[in-house]
Amino acid sequence: MRAAFCIGLCAVALSIAAHGAACADEFFKGKEITLYTGSPPGGPYDTYTRLVGRHLGAHIPGNPNVVVQNMVGASGRRMIGYLYNLAPRDGTAIAAAERAVALAPLLGEDDQFDALKMAWLGSANTETNVCIVWHTSAIKTIDDVRTHAMNVGTSGPSSTDAIFPNMMNVLFGMHFKVIGGYKGAPQSDLAIERGELDGRCGISWDTLVALKTAWLDQKLIRILVQLALDRDPKLPDVPWVFDLATTDQQRQILTFWTLPNKMGRPFVAPPGLPADRVAVLRHAFTATLKDPQLRAEADAMKLAVNGIGGEEVMALLEKAYAMPKEVVEKAALAGEGR
């Protein structure tokens, strides 16, 4: 009797799960999904968003149309605030978030959303950030920034190209001068070429390979340091930021700020999304990254696609939010340059 009862419970559970999946499958048929990005057209986040957007609909049951829409402002905070507070909570609105934005509530910088309540779908890749300097600069190595001022551009305080130079100023006595007011990465890059900036600190290595081939081929930039949770084997001769640390607290702060790099280019849905639709979108996202057509397109664009699933993104965020309060507070001050 006990065995029969258990079998009956399993049958009911499977029936409910199948019914939920069927409902999700039917829901997306004939629908249009808006995929938001908080970056301007032409930048690295926009490039990844559009790559995924071109293939995602083919892997969602019902094959909905996916339309990419830019919602620029406040280093991605405007977009994430809209997604959390105003966007439909039915799966027809999702977004490619800037990874550092997910830490804003933890740092007391933003109270309009809760990152742990959102439905993280996965990430298109993992990242290693680097600091670059234009070839005409007198700065040759990262140690030179301890004695020479280096002007770097950013789109806002939540961007990695503001956080990383600020952090290194505080932790290691560097002299990065962070200059804001740039709408996004393309504008900062033009400013470097015009001589308005010395470089950037917090740009993705994969982005350089994909979008700035001429800079690398013509040796127009020097790579000063790599910023990542783990040393990148593709950059064996570039100093690793953890090598600069001399105390446990410095290493903890570096861990806090490089942990989001593992999230790379994260995709997310609003809170309150039905569980069956979260499951469908996560599965579709994973399948999209494995799609041979996407892979071929990414290879042609020199875009790295080595993503992780939604559960892994969520685990990284939970790790960040579980860090000791003292470490978070000091990391927040360092990220602001204080």
Residue 250 sits in the same domain as residue 308: no
pLDDT beyond 80 at 22: no
Residue 138 sits in the same domain as residue 246: yes
pLDDT beyond 50 at 153: yes
Residue 271 sits in the same domain as residue 295: yes
CATH of the domain at 96: 3.40.190.150
pLDDT beyond 60 at 9: no
Percent of the chain whose predicted confidence (pLDDT) is above 70: 93
Residue 232 sits in the same domain as residue 250: yes
Assigned domain for 14 exists = no
Residue 145 sits in the same domain as residue 204: yes
Residue 104 sits in the same domain as residue 161: no
Residue 202 sits in the same domain as residue 225: yes
Contacts of 232 (CB under 8 A, 6+ apart): 128, 205, 226, 238
Residue 142 sits in the same domain as residue 207: yes
Residue 236 sits in the same domain as residue 282: no
Assigned domain for 149 exists = yes
Q: Which residues pair with 34 in a beta bridge?
A: 67, 93
Q: Tell me: the pLDDT tens digits for 82-141?
A: 999 999 999 999 999 988 889 889 888 778 899 999 999 999 999 899 999 999 999 999
Q: Which pLDDT score, from 0 to 100, does residue 17 have? A: 37
Q: Which pLDDT score, from 0 to 100, does residue 75 have? A: 74
- Point out the domain boundary residue: 230, 260, 290: 260
Q: What is the mean pLDDT of the chain?
A: 90
Residue 224 sits in the same domain as residue 138: yes
Assigned domain for 26 exists = yes
- Point out the domain boundary residue: 205, 228, 260: 260
Nearest to 51 by CA among 313, 312, 295, 308: 295
- Point out the domain boundary residue: 209, 232, 260: 260
User: How does residue 13 score in pLDDT terms, banded at 50, 70 and 90?
Assistant: very low
User: How does residue 5 score in pLDDT terms, banded at 50, 70 and 90?
Assistant: very low
pLDDT beyond 60 at 37: yes
pLDDT beyond 90 at 206: no
Backbone angles phi, psi at 23, to 5 degrees: -60, -45
- Rounded Cα–Cα distance for residues 131 and 76 (Å): 21
pLDDT beyond 70 at 16: no
Q: Which pLDDT score, from 0 to 100, does residue 211 have? A: 84
Assigned domain for 25 exists = yes
Number of domains in the chain: 2
Of 116-120, 237-241, 306-310, which gets the smallest average pLDDT? 306-310
- For residue 27, the enclosing domain spans 20-126+263-323
- Rounded Cα–Cα distance for residues 192 and 307 (Å): 30
Assigned domain for 335 exists = no
Of 2-11, 150-159, 224-233, which gets the smallest average pLDDT? 2-11
Q: Which pLDDT score, from 0 to 100, does residue 108 have? A: 83
Residue 34 sits in the same domain as residue 77: yes
Assigned domain for 179 exists = yes
Of 97-106, 186-195, 239-248, 275-284, which gets the smallest average pLDDT? 97-106
Q: What is the 3-state secondary structure (H, E, C) of the chain?
A: CHHHHHHHHHHHHHHHHHHHHHHHHHHHCCCEEEEEECCCCCCHHHHHHHHHHHHHHHHCCCCCEEEEEECCCHHHHHHHHHHHHCCCCCCCEEEECCHHHHHCCCCCCCCCCCHHHCEEEEECCCCCEEEEEECCCCCCCHHHHHCCCEEEECCCCCCHHHHHHHHHHHHHCCCEEEECCCCCHHHHHHHHHHCCCCEEEEEEHHHHHHHCHHHHHCCCEEEEEEECCCCCCCCCCCCEHHHHCCCHHHHHHHHHHHHHHHHCCEEEECCCCCHHHHHHHHHHHHHHHHCHHHHHHHHHHCCCCCCEEHHHHHHHHHHHHCCCHHHHHHHHHHHCCC
Assigned domain for 336 exists = no
Question: What number is the average pLDDT over the span 210-218?
Answer: 93
pLDDT beyond 50 at 312: yes
Residue 112 sits in the same domain as residue 176: no
CATH of the domain at 220: 3.40.190.10
Assigned domain for 9 exists = no
